[in-house]
Amino acid sequence: MLRKPWQPLQPTSVSLSGTTLTVTFHVPVPPLAWEKTLSAPHQTVHTEWAKGHGFEVADSTGPLVISDAVLSGEAVQLTLAKAPGAGLVVRYAMLQDGAGYLGGKPDGRRGQLRDVRSTRHLVRGCPHGLREYCFARRAGEHRLPH
């Protein structure tokens, strides 16, 4: 045991330069990775975020189009289709793509961001990884002053 308090995979800071948002994370086992076994969220509803892997960006005018999301060590760089205005908000896995309870379904609230932990354990004789996934962020959503 390392005798350090546990911290989840979670954002620690957000910065903006032109149309690029950089979200830096505490990553338990670096680097960050996209979970390819989960289909990408926001492919049928909220399609302005279809390339965001679960990230959602809006300003005072409404949702902003994410043109690309790239991993860079312990950060995610989100490229927006246009420069944001006032009231910029960055969220992760907060909106689902359908009505009603959709937890655990392809149209539910989710994202693809995780660490690269490779520890395995057996559950009923089948190996499962102990990867750390980023959880949905609403409380303390990241707002940038403009």
- Residue spans per domain, the chain: 10-144
What are the tens digits of pLDDT across the range 20-36? 999 999 999 899 999 99
What are the tens digits of pLDDT across the range 65-112? 999 999 999 999 999 999 999 889 999 999 998 888 888 777 788 899
Q: Would the pLDDT of 135 be above 80? A: no
Greater pLDDT, 127 or 42: 42
Report the distance separating Cα 19 and Cα 50, nearest Å: 17
Q: Would the pLDDT of 63 be above 60? A: yes
DSSP state letters, the chain: --------SEEEEEEEETTEEEEEEE-SSSS-EE-TTSPPS-SSSSGGGTTTTTEEEEETTEE--EEEEEEETTEEEEEESS---SSEEEEES---SSSS--TTSTTSS---EE-----EEEETTEEEE-PPBPPPEEEEEEEE--
Q: What is the pLDDT of residue 46?
A: 95
Q: Would the pLDDT of 139 be above 50? A: no
